[in-house]
Structure 1
Amino acid sequence: MKIASLVARYLLGFIFLVFGLNGFLHFIPTPPPPGVAGDFMIVLFESHYLVIIFLLQLIPAVLLLINRFVPLALVLLGPVIVNIVCFHALMAPAGLPMALFVTALWVLVAYGVRSAFARLLQVRASETA
């Protein structure tokens, strides 16, 4: 399981590094998807909201690849992945398999560092003085 988590960490980091860099450098040509998904992407692009999203992909990707602050990287990528899955599930279903693959990678990496999340998953909060 340790090897699977390691491979998943590198794959997840590489995927988000490529797509985060693509947001700034535009080396993968991507026309807007048709319909409401395209309208949504145009609004995100014109409002410069995607700059934040691409930064939230790039920074955790680098952290995953250099194996530093992996739990923090997962926490930053979690909401991004949820939005990617929702976007593809509701507006552009052609990308859903890749979104689910990325989700599975995230789960494998999170399982590898599950001890970092142990206190978050307690039923009751322990009070400290």
Structure 2
Amino acid sequence: MKIIMIIVRTLMGLLLLFASVSFFFKLMPMPQATGQAKVYNDGLAVVGIMNIVKVLELLCGLAFVTGRFVTLAVVVIFPILINIVLFHAVVAPSGLTSGALLLVGDLFLAYYYRRNYVSLFAIK
């Protein structure tokens, strides 16, 4: 189980690092969005939230690759992954597979580190 966790954690970290670094350094051209995807992306651009999301992806990717603060990174990246999956499920189904795999990997890591979350749910 530990080897599977290391593999999942490292692959997730590398994918998140690649996505954030390619966003900041413009390594890959962004495909032109059309229809509802363009409206969604324009709304995100007005607020400037993508920079914050990509910084969080970078930090969580580093945490996953290094193995430090993984429990925190699992919690921080979860809402971003939910957004990715919902966006691709509703608006642009082409990227649903990678988003779903990331979400499944995050849920697996949350399950693996479940003992670290026990104190969050303790009634005091």
Q: Which shifted more, 95-104 or 27-36?
A: 27-36
Q: Percent identity?
A: 31
Structure 1 stretches of at least 4 aligned residues deviating more than 4 Å after TM superposition: none
Farther off after superposition, 107-116 or 48-57: 107-116
2:64 pairs with 1:64: yes
Residue 48 of structure 1 and its aligned partner are, at CA, apart by 1.6
C-alpha displacement of 1:111: 2.2
Structure 2: which 5+ residue stretches go unaligned?
none
Query: Structure 1's 29 and 113: CA in aligned 2 closer, same or farther, altered over 3 A?
Result: same
Q: Which amino acid aligns with 2:24?
A: F
- Could you tell me which amino acid in structure 2 is paired with residue 111 of structure 1? Y
Mean Cα deviation higher: 96-105 or 45-54: 45-54
Which structure has the bigger radius of gyration?
Answer: 1
Q: Hey, what does 1:119 align to over in structure 2?
A: 119
Tell me how many residue pairs correspond in the alignment.
Answer: 124
Give a deviation string over 1:50-84, Cα, whole Å, max 9, x none: 11111111111111111111111111100100110
Retained in 2: the 8 A contact 1:5–1:111?
Answer: no
The structure with higher relative contact order (CA 8 Å, sep 6+) is 1
Structure 1: how far apart are the matches of 2:117 and 2:12? 19
Q: CA RMSD in A?
A: 1.4
Unmatched segments (≥5 aa) in structure 1:
none
Q: What pairs up with 1:1-129 in 2 under 5 angstroms?
A: 1-120=1-120, 122=121, 125-127=122-124
Q: TM-score, normalised by structure 2?
A: 0.91
Distance in 2, matches of 1:57 and 1:18, equals 9
